[in-house]
Structure 1
Amino acid sequence: MDPMDRGMRYTPGSSSDMNWELADTFLPASDNKKLKKKRGPGKVGIIVVVVILAAVLALTIGLLVWHFHFRQNLQSQKIYTGSVRIANQAFVDAYENPDSAEFKDLANQVMAQLKSMYSESPQLSKYYIGSEVQAFSEGSVIAYYESEFAVPAGQEAEVDQAVNRLSSKVRRVGEKQGPLVFDHVVSSALDTRLFSKARASMRYSQHAKSSAEEIITSPGFPDEPYAPNTFVQWQLRGDPGHVLKLSFDTFNLEGNCSNDFVRVYDSLVAVDKHLMEEECGYNSPSNPLNFISSRNVMLVTFVTNEEGNFPGFRARMTQISQDSSDLACGGKLGGTSGSFKSPNFPSYYPPNKTCQWDIQVPDGKHIKLRFTTFMVSTGSLNHCSGDYVQIVGVSTLCGKQPENTIVTVNSNKMTVVFKSDSSQVDQGFSAIYEVFEPTDPCPYKFQCDNKRCINPPLRCDGWNDCGDSTDERNCQCDASMIKCRNGFCKPMFWRCDGVNDCGDDTDELNCGCNVGEFQCNDNQCVSEKLRCDGNRDCKDGSDEDGCSRDICKDSTFLCGNGKCLTKPNPMCDGQVDCEDGSDESNCNCGRKANSKPRIVGGQEADVDEFPWQVSLHIKNTAHVCGASIISEQWIVTAAHCVQDEDKIKYSQPGTWEAYLGLHTQKEKQKATKRLIKQIIPHKNYNANTYDNDIALMELDSPVTFSASIRPICLPTATDVFPAGETVTITGWGATREGGSGATVLQKANVRIINSTVCNQLMDGQITSRMTCAGVLTGGVDACQGDSGGPMSVLSNERMFLAGVVSWGDGCARRNKPGIYTTVPKFRAWIKEKTGV
């Protein structure tokens, strides 16, 4: 038997308290006159005076303490970063060296003139502390500076407005209050995360040399993770007449940008008006972060907090001539079809860029423009106040537009303008234009109301292929589809899945269970015999509701301290719900690389996109089954993968070798190989029905987690993955039924199918420990060689192991979904056997 045939996934002290004892001694008097009051203050008067003086002294001290301590606390440090162009100066090389006499002399002049400017503003002069020039660059001379202010509480907005008014005034008319002429000032408040005194600070400067690459890396990379509480900045320069290109070929930071992040600026100081992008998390090397400046300078800043340190990053910096064809955009386009895209697509386009394309097609024809990808920054005010694409006379687009957005003009001429401002870049767009006959805009195709053209077979197939649903209106449904009362036709497997797919609930009517079955709250049907058996056979646990058992009720989570939550799927959602924090423990898992959505009907996965995917090989032979990493030493696969046959003892650990971090089967030498120490198939696995189809494998030695090797999150026993939810399947299995295995790891998205419907389709073979998923119109499925691999679901920005690829009736056949072992059913078993 071919190995690939093994199946189908935290008071003032009393010492200062003066307890005065007033010991009044009354001496006997020999003369009564001596007992009469004498003129003067007397004892009482003296005491009153002393008390008054003490009160005044205490009040004075209190006022002084308030003035010098508490009042000081009512002031906040505000730092404004900016740049100013000095029109009457020419750049000299010495200005690049902060220790040179030329740099210091010009810097002193700039700081004196900035002080003079601030002194003219009542809102700024009284709070101004001082300025520091950070750098100079070409452009006559551009000075980059920081200005510090001590601003009383409640005055921050006024100071912000005063700085902006000053900058606007200088930009309009120029400013000369000394030997320097300032004709352009850009300034904004510095992000407070960038000047914390608690952080260690480092600064580097690098200048590109000819066409050679300059390398920058996070401190410690690649030998150790970056350090906590650190602020690092790199001032990058190129030669005059050039721009800089920065490419991160490794990028692996904490996923929360509030903690660790990288910022890239089109400037030499961290001024938000020139911020291109802030990045954190993990980025796949197959789709590297790539930035291009608008001039010959760039600043990279890196900030870390006190915990959660990751490997870091490595980036390459080169300079490109401003005349290079690589930077060219716009021009004249003709013919009957063609394409164009934003500069540097699919990586980030540069700031301060304007491109214009003039399209002219043959007379008598009209033009249809289709944006296959469209991601353009909207600007801080939205409404396309930042970057945009304008189809002149027709529309202006920005933000993220749906795939294959179409714009048409009833003319043979079209002008498209792309414009980016000084900040916040994005990936841009890719566009295709083609001609159409005014009388027949969609020859041989169906025209959607949004002008999109689709193939006729997609009409009335239950799927919104147009994007505006016009292809699914007024349809005649065949027997294999649900006929919605509103005229839509929907795939039969969406019936009774708890999701209103029709829009009028037609697909959720008459969804009862058969005799002898119990209907769960989510409409799932299970055998009446499973009611109150202590096991959650309903996905929502409702079969154990009202039973005399001390267990959590439906849609709940059992905390480590034995208490229950009413919040569904709370694990690793970033919020501590359990008093003991058990819902947020063990959450260093399931981080998925940036991706874009053989597995039959799938597509190639990005490198390191699914770092928990394992390839299981018979020693010295080809890939046989898949598996998923759940810890440094344990992986999960399917039980049917480890059942003995006449010639091969699949149950024996010595038969196997596991490849972790593998992407392409032909590059096994790049992966991490481990042998198997022990294999634990589930004791109740049924080889005839594939029930309880799950097994555990212990690696002979632990692996070290990295960008390419990471565990997937395990769900809890109460996690619910409802019908209709999208899940992802991955593997190197056959790309068609009966075909050979894939060389490159494949991925595909499918949908969980209602178990009642699935059981009907699969002739009653579905148990409560199986999950059905697929596309019942066919074309997408797992296949031979994908067995044991993961069926993963995205929840709270992490991927969870919802199922294990188990079996199916062929591959990608119509009305024949893939069957997966339901992992939540085996969570306690996994814990018992592995401790994970």
Structure 2
Amino acid sequence: MDKENSDASSKPADLKVSIVCVISIQVVSVPGRLPGRRLPRKPIGKARPKKQSTKRAPFWNFQNKIILFTVFLFILAVIAWTLLWLYISKTESKDAFYFVGMFRITDVEFLPEHRQKESREFLSVARTVQQVVNLVYTTSAFSKFYKQAVVADVSSNNKGGLLVHFWIVFVMPHAKGSIFCEDCVAAILKDSIQTSIINRTSVGSLQGLAVDLDSVVLNDKGCSQYFYADHSSLRYPLEVSATSGQLMCHFKLVAIVGYLIRLTIESVQLEADSCVTDSLTIYDALLPIRSMVLYRLCEPTRALMSFVSTNNLMLVTLKSPYIRRLSGIRAYFEVIPEQKCENTVLVREITSFEGKISSPYYPSYYPPKCKCTWKFQTPLSTLGIALKFHNYAITKKGAKGCEHGWWEINEHMYCGSYMDHQTIFRVPSPLVHIQLRCSSRFSDKPLLVEYGSYNISQLTIKPACDVTHFWQPGPLVCDGFQDCENGQDEHNCTQSIPCTNKTFKCDNDICFKKQNARCDGIVDCPDGSDEDSCSCSRTSSSLHRIVGGADSQEGAWPWQVSLHFVGSAYCGASVISREWLLSAAHCFHGNRLSDPTPWTAHLGMYVQGNAKFVSPVRRIVVHEYYNSQTFDYDIALLQLSIAWPETLKQLIQPICIPPAGQKVHSGEKCWVTGWGQRHEAGNKGSPVLQQAEVELIDQTLCVSTYGIITSRMLCAGVISGKRDACKGDSGGPLSCRRKSDGKWILTGIVSWGHGCGRPNFPGVYTRVSKFVPWIHKYVPSLL
């Protein structure tokens, strides 16, 4: 036993074997008894025998040194590995690239258990998808950077099957991060899906998974929130904001089956750029597929807006990759029941408007593909139905489709369009069947329609307007509502009626019913007060043509203004009233330039330094959405400290503001004026006011030339170049003469362009007609 113990101590690896041998000997030496460990019995009343002294081996013998050295190496390895792991983890977190992905698996039925991340159903799908995605990217060009894929969520969608949401992680130095992009990473996944040419569907095989190719979406890492709402009485808030970096958020909204989702937006902060970079997009599904877009916001808004889905699913994406100021959203969503939009209305025997009908889910934007039916009946055969649209009009349907809903009224087809004024549509029948079918593409603005009866026999009906479009059974003359597109039905309606807040009042207290009577080019008031201060019909007496222009004649452009900053000519502007000017926002960009103190306005001037009237600038109002990167919303108002006197009205006159939504046509001739440089390479402005004739350029052509051209911009020039605005002309007018009455209209404001007078690069102007409500907010006297 001593020898065995000695061997055991010298060979630690054999310790277990030695013990086994000892136990086996115990079993053999005591037959019939179970092997076991017994405590030694202490002798009672007897002294303990003395132990024999044994010689111990020294502690620092060779074997112990080896053991201690081994333990030391082990501890050192653990510390080194821990430090290395911490370094790698830190490096990975610093140099990791995350992508949020999703795709639809078409051949698996969604079960409620798929929402539970601990369920067998979820784990089965998650394992399969992770294995497939791992295989795709470990065999790709990005294999050495690929880290892992993690399934985050499994949900249902309105196309059937499972919608799988997952994360993909790559690790690489950020210096090489430029090779990663959404399109690059998504292309690898999409290219891995094998589709059949025979069945011509988008469903293909991804390593054995039946995946819808159209559903594959990848985005850079951003916030992603999932909401499941099952209480119709609650509001579920959505709120996120950022002040720097980038913002990409996905809100997945799911309601109980059989209900719809209403999303109400309280405010959105974005950089206004026509959705080139910033956007808020609402989808009628959990997939961000273009064909499922309900609505898209491209500019900031604080107006309350709400949208309704067509099913129990909605996806909201907020994209703002280059945040220069606060970006974000404040909103909430609710669960609402589906509404039936149909009604039978018995109209009373009173010739006035007595009730209202509206688009579905009013005042929300109504969803696509909706359908409404109304049946009206009057008590007498002599009474017809009158419909008063508050911001809408319907016209006879042509060969093209209807963008904003189509109407069937007593088997006649009409198209709807939005207007900035009220219109009345009359149906000369006591029984009227009306059906509205909403646009099949996007949500549209809410509609409110008043209805009532009218006496068919007492109407004064004119057969048609002097334009292509006309109303059925015909426009009503002088009823206070513009039925003809050119307003012809309301011209010369000067019959005096009692004055109300809905009538136009002349300076001699005569009132008449006419919309937009002021400055429409027609004298309706006997004293002409409706056209006072609207003398913008002066035509240019010179037909010479800034770059490629020529000297104008003195007094030819009486609305032209030169703005001086600290005594030097800096920008142009246009007179729009006795004390207000209109110019470009970029002239006042920056703390120093936005201060009105150093600015003076020079009016009635032909030669620089020889103005008929000079006023300090009292106030500068730059449009709140002006974007200094894209020049979108490039418009500003200036208020003069001193209004110009009436005695100078022969030399100083305002130019007319266009009607809201004014349509212009490519090829139309207009004039640009200013004291700017005559050549791109020049360094001095012209001492004499220059003028150049340019033509309006097709918007599509302009977009193809410059790229970022928003609906608030228009292009004008000549394709060959040679005639254009240039440096120093900014803020000045693009003046177009209206053929109907000869008045000059401020169609554009000189904004930006590529060089001056270059071939194929026309000048870009602010489209004034897009800002009429904004102008009226500060200058109500123009109304």
TM-score (norm 2): 0.45
The structure that has the greater radius of gyration is 2
TM-score (norm 1): 0.42
Which structure carries more relative contact order (alpha carbon 8 Å, separation 6+)?
Answer: 1
